[in-house]
Structure 1
Amino acid sequence: GEYMAVESFNSFIFKSEDDNVKNCFKDVQQQHRQNINNLASYIQDIGGQPQENLGMKGKMAEIKLNMKLGAKVDAARIIEKAIEGETKGVNMAEKVLRGNLDDKSRDIAGEILKNDRNSIEKLKELM
Structure 2
Amino acid sequence: MQNEKDIVIKELNAFLQGQYMGIRAYEHLIAKLEDPEIKKEFQSMQQDHRLHAAMVSERIQTLGGMPVNNEGLTGKIQGFISQMMMPESTENIIKMAIKGEDLYGIQLSEEIVKGDLDPESKNMVESIIDTDRRHLDYLKNLVH
- Smaller-chain TM-score bracket: over 0.9
RMSD: 1.0
Q: Confirm or deny that 1:74 pairs with 2:89.
A: yes
Q: Which runs of 4+ in 1 moved over 2 A?
A: none
Q: How does 1:1-127 map to 2 (within 5 A)?
A: 1-69=18-86, 73-88=88-103, 89-127=105-143
Preserved CA contact (<8 Å) 1:93 1:112:
no
Among the aligned pairs, what percent are the same residue? 33
Structure 1, unmatched stretches of 5+, are none
Preserved CA contact (<8 Å) 1:90 1:117:
yes
Classify the secondary structure of the residue corresponding to 2:85. helix
Classify the secondary structure of the residue corresponding to 1:126. helix
Classify the secondary structure of the residue corresponding to 2:68. coil
Which of 26-35 and 52-61 deviates more?
A: 52-61
Q: Report the TM-score when normalising by structure 2.
A: 0.83
CA distance in 2, matches of 1:85, 1:3: 12
